[in-house]
Every structure is written in C-alpha cells, then in structure tokens.
Amino acid sequence: MKRFGTFDGVFTPTILTIIGVILYLRLGWVIGHVGLLGGLLIIILAHISTITTGLSMSSITTNVRIGDGGFYSIISRSLGPEVGGAIGITLYLSQTFSIALYIIGFTEVWLSLFPKHEPHLISSIVLIFILFLSLVSAKIAIKFQYIIMLLIALSLFSFFMGEHKEVEKILLFNTNSEIPFWTVFAVFFPAVTGISAGASLSGELKNPKKNIPYGMLLAIGVGLIVYLAVGLWLGLYASTEELLTNTLIMRDLSLWKWTIIAGIMGATLSSALGSILGAPRILMALGQDSIIPFSDLWKIRSKNGEPRYSLLLTAIIVESSILMWDLNAIAPLLTMFFLITYAMINLAVFIEKGVGVTSFRPSFNIPNSIPLIGGLWCLIIMFLIDPIFAVISILILVIFYSIQVKRGIKAPWGDIREALFTSLGEWALKTSSKMPQTSRSWKPNLMIPVEEPEKWENLIEIVRDIVYPKGTIRLVSIRVSKDYLKKRVKSIWKRFFKDEETENNNLKNDNIEIKLKKLEQKMKKEGIFITSVVADAYDFLEGIGIVTQVMKGMFFPPNIMFLKMSNSSENNEKLEQLIALSIKEELGLIILGLNKEEMFKNKKTVNLWIRDKSPNQKLATLLSLELYKSWGKLRLIRVTDNKVKIGNELEDLKRIVEEQRLPVRSELKVLVGDFYNVLKNSPEADINIFGISGQMCSENMHKIVSTVNTSCLFTRGSGKEDLI
C-alpha cells in the first residue's frame, strides 16, 4: 500500500525525531561545558555519522527495491538475512525503548507544569494516545505531526526573535570543565540518532528511490542548520553560568515563553510518534522474512494497512519498560545499536562499490570514501561514548547473528556476500600468483576420478581425514560418448519417436551427474571444500586427461591424484593408465587398496612403511600426518635383511622423527626378513601406507593388500612436497 511521499513519509518523521528534547534541554548544557566553538564542533562531529549514513542510504536506495523495514530491509538484502536479522532485532528493540524514553521525557516536562499529576498515569495516557493514532491510520498520525511541526517552528521563531543581550565574555573553549569533551559528546549524540525513523515507512512510500534520498538528506541538513544556529545563539547570548545551571535557558531567552514548553512537549511527543510508526514496521518486516518466532502473527496488517499485532506488542513492551525498568541505565546501549546500524549501512555500500559488481549502479552515486569514513566513524564513536556498552552491544549482536546462522534461513533474495568473498578470493589469487611458488605451501588438494559415484560413498571419511581441514577435493567424472554424432541423431529421433534405447542412455548419463552432486553434498557436510565436474568425452581416460590439464592451469590446482584399486582386470589396466597420466602431469599419487572386510577398522593406528632414501617418503609421511590428526597413533616401520643393521635403522628412524618434527610418541619398528614374509607378521594397524617403488604395479599392490590384511594407501611423490 503506497501512501506516502517525500515530505510526509520521510522528511516529517525524520526531522521531528532529530529535533527533540536534547535541542531544548541539553544543548545549552553542552555549550556551557565545552564552550561555543567546542559545542559547534560536537554538533558537526555528531552529524558526520548521519550525513555519511544519509548519503550511503540515498545511494543504495537508488539501486535496489526497498521493502518494509527501512534500514533492516537494506542491510538484509545487502549483507544477508543473518546480519540483517541480527541488526533488525536490535534496531526494533532500540526504537521501541526509545518510545519509552521519549514518553518519559514528555512526562517530565508535563510534571514541571502539573507536579501533582501521577507520572505513570500520564505516561500511559500518552502511550494510549499515540497507539490510537497509529492504529487508526499512519496518515492521521503524520497529519498530527504537522501540528507538532508548526509548534516547533513557532518555538524556534520565538527563540530567535527574543530580546538578547550579548554576554560580556564569549567562552569559545571551556578548558576548566570537570566533564571531559567526549563525555559531553556522548550526552549530545542521541540527538542525531533519529534518521532511521524516516526510512521505516519504506514499504509504504510511493517512490522510495526518490522519497528516501530527498527526504532524509533534507531532514539531516535542516537539523544540522537548526542545531548550529541554536548553539551559536546560546553561546552568544547566554553566560556560561546560565548555560550550566538553567536547563530552560531557551525559554528564558524567547519572545513567548510558552512556545518553548509547547515545543519541548511537541518534540518529545513527535519523536515517540515517529518511533511507534517505525518500530512495528521493522517487526512486521522481520515477520515477513520469517526471522523471528511467530512470524505469521507479526506480518498481519489491518484493513487500513497498519501492522496491528506488531503495534500491540510494541505498546506492551513500552508500557512494561516504563513501569518496570530504569531506561536511563540502558540508554547508552540503545545509542550503540543505532550506531551499529549506521555502520552496517555504510559497510554495505562500501562493499557493493568495492567489489565492483555490475548490478550496483545507483543513480545517486557517491565516492567510496564516504561510506568508509562513515562506517569507521560510527565504530569510533561507539568506543568514545562508552567502551563497555560498545563491547556489550557487539556481543549481543554476535549472539543474535549466531542464532540466525544456526537456524539456516533461506532467503528468496540475493545479497552481496558471494560477490564480496569472490572479490577477496580474486585479490588473494592475484597476490599469490606474484609470489614465488614453493613446496612449503603444500597442502593436500586431491583430484578424484570417479566412474561410479555410489562406490565412493563409504570412503567419504577416509578422504575427509586426508584433506581436513585445509585441503580441497575435485571430483571428476566423464560422460562417455562413443559416437557423438550418432547419439545426437538419436537424441533428435527421441524427440519425435521416443526411442527407448536413447532414453535409457540419456537417463544413465544424467544419473552420473546427479550421483556425483549427491556425493559432493555428502562430503560438504563433513566440512570439506569440494567441487565436482562432469565432462563429455569419447573415452574415460581421454576425458580425465583433458580435465587434468585444464585444472593444472587453474588457480589452486590439484597436486595429488587419488585413485581406488579394483578387482577387475579391465580396471587394473585403467589404473595403470591413470598412474601414467599422474606421472606425466607431475601430480602426486595416492592409490587406495581397500580391504572390504576390515575397511579401516577402528581408525586409530597408522603404519608408515619407510624405505631408505625413498623418493616417495615425503608424500607418504605427509599423508600419515594428516591421518594422525584424526586417528591418534603413528607407527614408523622399516624392513632390513640383516639383524646387525637393526640399531642403525632405529637411529635413522629417530633422526627422521626429529628432523621432520613427527609426533614424539611415534612408535618405531625395524623388521627383519623378506618384505612379503615380514608383511604377514607386521604389527596390527588400521591402515598401512607404502611408497610405490619403481617395480611396483597394480598386481603387486593387490598382493600387498591381501598379505597385510588391511586397507592400504600407496603413494608416489611428485617432488613438490616438503616436510621441513
């Protein structure tokens, strides 16, 4: 329901939230404590955050379609539903508690006129009044704000037209104040936290892309001029003593005293009204996106478009907080939440511009320095105001964010997170490509040729233990097409005559891709970084060769080919050809010989067989270390043909443990005899790791697996591995 334009939907609620009780009751105190120029500096420094945020908001709203919820809508659609949800919840609570603070401020002014009235009763009546206006219609509430705007304008006219006598000595900077500059700044800063009020009606604006930029920037500009003018006037025409002791100094300097009281009451009432229009709409937007419990309830609108139940819940929270809590104690926390929201808006624009995505083409363009300055300044202000509350607010935000992440929200819209991490990845790749490539950066990046994906499902754990946590996996499968042209003809034939043979072949090929994706998803659940690809080729080996060459030219290329032995003689021949391919492409090689009965037993002990001066020792040792992280026990074994050599061989194994920084608890064994005879009586383990000797073929590997009676890994180094 599009009901509002720039003036009524954005400018009015924003300016009336900005011009509030701090202008009338605290600005003089600020000038008194820091001096005229110090006070004007505080006004400017505080407005830097709102000016930069307003410019960032204007930029991003001219690029995307803004839904309900204002700032929440923008952040969630830029930084994702998890960040948006965390910000939205805290922003909603901030605006809700702000309503209570504004009502309490109104009540205090009322009691100064009628001291015998009951405070809680006055606050409750004010709440019921603004709730009634909001429930009846936001349009009526906005029109009521026009009356308040006239009262505020009249009060300012009265103030500037009053009889002013220049003070004898204008204090430009007060260096004798007992209150530090940044403490005074913290007292003033809530005056500029009202810009979110104008954006909260975003879902009901006729043209958000124009209404929000024009209305918000105009309100910020007018607010800045008003604060600077009033501050200058107070510094010129009131003494320091009056400014420090008389909170109603504006009234005393005015032409008509009553207009200032009316302005104060109108300003607090309008701020409360603006927030009660905005806060429930944030709650409604959170409900629409299923971010919070009972979402279906909060997104319900009345016939006239008002978020009825969100309004009622907001009113209940406000009434409870007025009656039960000391809101002054948590006021700094509310300011922190507003500042975090502003920082996130600036961050979203900074990232959108920084990643350089084509989709970010705002008609209101700004330099990227503006959101950078705005975001950093908001964070700095948080810690200048109150470091403790700054940390508390960030922790609360992290908690809300973690909850959203655990819920696994699936948003129907896109955001810039993928573009952000892609951009960071591109930068890292470009930077790393300029660095000298050394073996010290080695980590297991496996390429796994997969012919039948379903046969790899029971091997997910062993593959995970090899690569986790920093390694990667590329699953590669080939759709074999013996006669491409013939199959194309059959495919066309099928369209018209539904040839059963062609349909079955296509179904088989489609199943390969489906099964490979299924295998990929299962490995992803184990925390593995994995990708998969299915390529078309006339022959499986030819396809694997082509894909291997392509992958070697990519960033983060695979450095190991991981193969699985089979009992089929046809597959043994294919295994030999894949081994030759890995050697040709200078890849490391791991071949799994699976004992189907034992599998990996208890997954505790790793036997690493080390030949003296073996060229495969580095990869075999690295592989055993990767498994050791998850399994927990490592045993180094060496075979010798002479008992006399046992002592020397043990010393050599100790040297290897020390030089290569292997686990100090590694067990060392030297076995005497013929290799295959030794295997029959080898120490019990859950897996055995061997280097591939020059004479070793697939037949020998099968013999070793059957002899040792465990699953085995056979390795061949590429020469690019490094243990030191």
Task: Give the span between the Cα atoms of 717 and 586, in whole angstroms.
Answer: 9
Domain assignment of residue 12, yes or no = yes
86-100, 158-172, 350-364, 531-545: range with lowest mean pLDDT: 350-364
- Choosing from 538, 558, 578, the residue where a domain stops is 558
Taking residue 496's Cβ as centre, other Cβ atoms within 10 Å add up to: 7
Domain range for 79 is 6-161+172-407
- Kindly state the tokens that stand for 187: 């007292």
More confident residue, 178 or 556: 178
Q: Is the pLDDT of residue 218 over 60?
A: yes
Query: In terms of domains, do 595 and 529 share one?
Result: no
| Confidence (pLDDT) at 690 | 93
Tens of pLDDT, residue by residue over 645-669, are: 889 999 999 998 988 889 888 999 9
Domain assignment of residue 322, yes or no = yes
Task: Give the span between the Cα atoms of 170 and 691, in whole angstroms.
Answer: 88
Q: Is the pLDDT of residue 2 over 80?
A: no
- Choosing from 356, 387, 407, the residue where a domain stops is 407
Query: In terms of domains, do 662 and 699 share one?
Result: yes
Query: In terms of domains, do 144 and 207 share one?
Result: yes
Q: Tell me the CA distances in angstroms from 615 to 438, 579, 690, one per residue in order.
A: 18, 16, 12
Task: Give the span between the Cα atoms of 689 and 620, in whole angstroms.
Answer: 7
| Confidence (pLDDT) at 374 | 94
Residues with Cβ within 8 Å of 82's Cβ and at least 6 positions away in sequence, in order, are: 401, 404, 405, 409
| Confidence (pLDDT) at 441 | 66
Domain assignment of residue 682, yes or no = yes
Domain assignment of residue 436, yes or no = no
6-15, 57-66, 83-92, 198-207: range with lowest mean pLDDT: 198-207
Query: In terms of domains, do 391 and 510 share one?
Result: no
Query: In terms of domains, do 376 and 491 share one?
Result: no
Q: Which residues of 105-122 are buried (b: 16+ CB within 10 A; e: fewer)?
A: bbbbbbeeeeeeeeeeeb
Taking residue 722's Cβ as centre, other Cβ atoms within 10 Å add up to: 11
Query: In terms of domains, do 598 and 540 share one?
Result: no
Tens of pLDDT, residue by residue over 252-276, are: 899 999 999 999 888 888 888 888 8
Domain assignment of residue 567, yes or no = no
More confident residue, 61 or 723: 61
Task: Give the span between the Cα atoms of 580 and 673, in whole angstroms.
Answer: 31
Max mean pLDDT among 22-31, 203-212, 295-304 falls in 22-31
Whether pTM > 0.75 for this model: the answer is no
Query: In terms of domains, do 542 and 651 share one?
Result: no
Q: What is the CATH number of the domain that holds 553?
A: 3.40.50.620
| Confidence (pLDDT) at 503 | 46
Max mean pLDDT among 152-156, 460-464, 553-557, 695-699 falls in 152-156
Angle (deg, nearest 10), helices 36-61 and 27-34: 130
Average confidence (pLDDT) over 201-215: 81
| Confidence (pLDDT) at 624 | 92
Task: Give the span between the Cα atoms of 286 and 673, in whole angstroms.
Answer: 73
More confident residue, 494 or 142: 142
Q: How many helices, marked H, and strands, marked E, lie in the chain?
A: 30, 10
Q: Is the pLDDT of residue 611 over 80?
A: yes
| Confidence (pLDDT) at 695 | 63
Domain assignment of residue 423, yes or no = no
Q: Is the pLDDT of residue 495 over 80?
A: no
More confident residue, 179 or 177: 179
| Confidence (pLDDT) at 597 | 83
Q: Is the pLDDT of residue 483 over 60?
A: no
Angle (deg, nearest 10), helices 36-61 and 369-385: 130
Average confidence (pLDDT) over 370-392: 92
Taking residue 26's Cβ as centre, other Cβ atoms within 10 Å add up to: 17
Query: In terms of domains, do 216 and 83 share one?
Result: yes
- Choosing from 386, 407, 428, the residue where a domain stops is 407
279-283, 337-341, 359-363: range with lowest mean pLDDT: 359-363
CB-based contact 623:689 (threshold 8 Å): yes
* Residue whose tokens read 């019921």: 128
| Confidence (pLDDT) at 438 | 60
More confident residue, 379 or 8: 379
**Cα atoms in the 13 Å half-sphere on the side-chain side of 48:** 20
Number of domains the chain contains: 3
3-state SS of 293-345 is CCHHHHCCCCCCCCCHHHHHHHHHHHHHHHHHCCHHHHHHHHHHHHHHHHHHH
User: Confidence band (pLDDT; 50, 70, 90) for 37?
Assistant: very high
Task: Give the span between the Cα atoms of 230 and 246, in whole angstroms.
Answer: 16
Tens of pLDDT, residue by residue over 183-201, are: 888 888 888 887 877 676 7
CB-based contact 393:342 (threshold 8 Å): no
Task: Give the span between the Cα atoms of 516 and 509, in whole angstroms.
Answer: 11
Q: Is the pLDDT of residue 324 over 80?
A: no
**Beta strand residue intervals within 414-528, DSSP E:** 445-449, 472-480
Nearest Cα to Cα of residue 615 among 715, 467, 724: 715
Q: Is the pLDDT of residue 440 over 80?
A: no
User: Confidence band (pLDDT; 50, 70, 90) for 491?
Assistant: low
Query: In terms of domains, do 520 and 609 share one?
Result: no
Domain assignment of residue 427, yes or no = no
665 DSSP 8-state letter = T
Mean pLDDT of the chain: 83
Domain assignment of residue 202, yes or no = yes
Q: Is the pLDDT of residue 305 over 90?
A: no
Query: In terms of domains, do 364 and 448 share one?
Result: no
Q: Is the pLDDT of residue 49 over 90?
A: yes
More confident residue, 635 or 423: 635
Task: Give the span between the Cα atoms of 603 and 73, in whole angstroms.
Answer: 49
| Confidence (pLDDT) at 502 | 46
| Confidence (pLDDT) at 489 | 53
Tens of pLDDT, residue by residue over 89-125, are: 888 888 888 888 888 888 888 888 888 999 989 999 9
Give kind and range of the element (H or E) at residue 269: helix 257-288
Give kind and range of the element (H or E) at residue 506: helix 500-525
More confident residue, 538 or 581: 581
CB-based contact 61:365 (threshold 8 Å): no
Percent of the chain with pLDDT over 70: 88
Nearest Cα to Cα of residue 88 among 288, 318, 325, 236: 288
User: Confidence band (pLDDT; 50, 70, 90) for 575?
Assistant: confident
285 DSSP 8-state letter = H
Query: In terms of domains, do 197 and 117 share one?
Result: yes
| Confidence (pLDDT) at 654 | 92
